[in-house]
Amino acid sequence: MKYSSISEAAAVYGIPESTIRYYEKKGLLPLIERDQAGRRLFSERQLALLGAVICLKNTHMPISKIKQYMEWIVEGDSTLERRLEMMQRHRQAVHDEISLMTQYLSGIEEKIERYTKQIQEIKNGEEVRSR
């Protein structure tokens, strides 16, 4: 089995090694193996779990919920329904946030249009005056 080091794992996801250490300290990476010198070793499965943690964190799932999710993964198939329910709720929360951000984006776009128009009107007025 091929293992990756913490620096390789960090490079795969474009995150600092300190972030991985933090996630492990918070209990978000319970399955990390170590070599005889105590260095973290990441199997393909552990890299995939790290990817899941990053995905959930970047979609604003609280650390406490990510930890619960990881605990359920360790518990095994008996928690599949709970994990599914958690992911369905999280998906809805992400959709709700996207919807809200889309509304806010519309307001920003309106401001950009207004300022662009005002700037163009000012420039056009200056061109007329300078003739």
Mean pLDDT score, 85-99: 98
First to last CA, the chain: 77
Closest listed residue to residue 30, CA positions, set 46, 16, 14: 46
Mean pLDDT score, 87-99: 98
Res. 93 pLDDT band, cuts 50 70 90? very high
**Per-residue model confidence as pLDDT tens digits over 27-83:** 999 888 899 999 999 999 999 999 999 999 999 999 999 999 999 999 999 999 999
pLDDT of the residue at 61: 98
Measure CA 93 to chain center.
Answer: 14
Measure CA 29 to chain center.
Answer: 15
